[in-house]
Amino acid sequence: MSVMRITRLHVVLFFSIYFLCSYSTLLSQDRDLHFTQYGMSPMNLNPALTGVFNGDMRFTGNYRTQWFTVPVSYNTVSLAYDQKIYNVKLHNGLFGIGGLLNYDQAGDSKLRSLQLNLAGSYTQRITQRDFLTLGLTVGAAQRSFSPDDLSWDKQYQNGQYQSPLPSGENFASESKFYPDFGVGLNWHYQVPNSKRTQFDFGVSFFHLLSPNVSFFDNAEVVIKPRLSVQLGSSFKISHRLDIIVNGNLYNQGESQQTIGGLALRYNFDEVIGRESAIQFGGEFRFLKTDSWAPVLTYYHRQWKVGLSYDVNVSDLFPATKRVGGIELGVMYIITKVKPLKVYKSCPIF
């Protein structure tokens, strides 16, 4: 059994960042997409997770549909790719690059968000077990909507709705483009020659430019920066069993969320090329609890597939009947056989 050794520096770093994030306040409304299986979408979680994984190339895909009994559903899709870039001159470091595509649609207005981001990172090996990564993301986004299925106050005459009547709304545009930037820092701990005991803790900031996404002229609807703190870890507790602990805290003005997850993973086989495991656990929202979600994850060789279902327990219960959101996450990792000089120069992850 591998035992994780936490130094005094690690403890100070953890609690310093935790309390900094806990007492930070940013003024805005929540405008970002959300995944229950946030660990299956690492580049949405923190740009410093770009290239931070066991392998060389990684493909991820996420799909979520929520509140389809309201009856207005919310649908979210995310696709991403990232990889490591090795350089024999960097004996204790490596670069990572990646791309991310997000699409989200919600409500009768078909409010859509389309986002394309490019991300880059640099990982520096601090000790045999500790790695520090700085990540940056830059991209462009579009928000749009369709007023065709909407009704307005001025279309009600004598207590009756008349769709041919003008809405009285004067939109400058039904689409808005804007640039977007983010930055993140991640600490990765890993027991040498072990994939089952590892730990990630990171802090990231998104929407650094506070873009204006108003559809009206001379009006301002600003997406303020979002602060996100993430924790992801797995610990080998026996020959077959691992315990998984993760969490995500974010603060975006009046919108705050704290999610914690706990799971057990049973490893059927660890032989290279035949790896397989199954994992079962749950994600829970704390502070203001509005849902919980059982999560089932299956590992097979390069594949990782997760399925979760949100059970709604918020004040929206009369409309949702506890029906929350179904979510599917897929990850595929490719590991190449490296030339000896590359492996010796940078044996990372």
pLDDT value at 49 more than 50:
yes
pLDDT value at 250 more than 60:
yes
- How many residues are there in the chain? 349
Max alpha carbon distance in the chain (Å)? 81
Question: Which range among 65-69, 126-130, 184-188, 234-238 has the greatest average pLDDT?
Answer: 184-188
| Cβ–Cβ < 8 Å for 144, 134 | no
pTM over 0.85: no
Q: What pLDDT score was predicted for residue 330? A: 97
Q: Tell me how far apart the alpha carbons of residues 85 and 345 are, in angstroms, rounded to a whole number.
A: 13
Q: What DSSP element (H or E) covers 309?
A: strand 303-312
For the stretch 8-41, pLDDT in tens is 445 444 544 444 444 333 333 345 777 889 999 9
Q: Tell me how far apart the alpha carbons of residues 192 and 349 are, in angstroms, rounded to a whole number.
A: 8
Q: What pLDDT score was predicted for residue 25? A: 35
Q: Tell me how far apart the alpha carbons of residues 74 and 79 are, in angstroms, rounded to a whole number.
A: 17
CA dihedral (297, 301, 302, 304) in degrees, to 10, reads 0
| Cβ–Cβ < 8 Å for 35, 44 | yes
CB atoms within 10 A of CB 307: 15
Tokens 């960042």, located at residue: 17
> Strands 175-190, 160-161: parallel, antiparallel or unpaired by DSSP?
unpaired
pLDDT value at 45 more than 50:
yes
Report the share of the chain in percent with pLDDT over 90.
43
pLDDT value at 334 more than 60:
yes
Cα–Cα–Cα angle for 248, 250, 251, rounded to 5 degrees? 165
Q: What pLDDT score was predicted for residue 314? A: 60
| Cβ–Cβ < 8 Å for 120, 97 | yes
- DSSP character string of 170-226: --S-SEEEEEEEEEEEEEEEE-TT-SSSEEEEEEEEE-TT--B--SSTT---B---E
Which residues touch 7 (CB under 8 Å, ≥6 apart)? none
59: helix, strand or coil: strand
Tokens of 253: 């003005």
Architecture of the domain defined by 26-328+338-345: Beta Barrel (2.40)
Cα–Cα–Cα angle for 20, 36, 42, rounded to 5 degrees? 65
CA dihedral (101, 246, 205, 14) in degrees, to 10, reads -150
For the stretch 282-324, pLDDT in tens is 988 875 556 788 999 999 999 999 999 988 766 555 555 556 6
DSSP state of 42: H
pLDDT value at 188 more than 80:
yes
The model's confidence at residue 99, banded by pLDDT at 50, 70 and 90, is very high
Q: Tell me how far apart the alpha carbons of residues 95 and 138 are, in angstroms, rounded to a whole number.
A: 16
Across all residues in the chain, what is the average pLDDT? 80
Taking alpha carbons only, the member of 94, 35, 89, 85 closest to residue 60 is 35
The model's confidence at residue 340, banded by pLDDT at 50, 70 and 90, is low
Q: Which range (33-37, 65-69, 132-136) has the least confidence? A: 65-69
Taking alpha carbons only, the member of 229, 272, 220 closest to residue 251 is 229
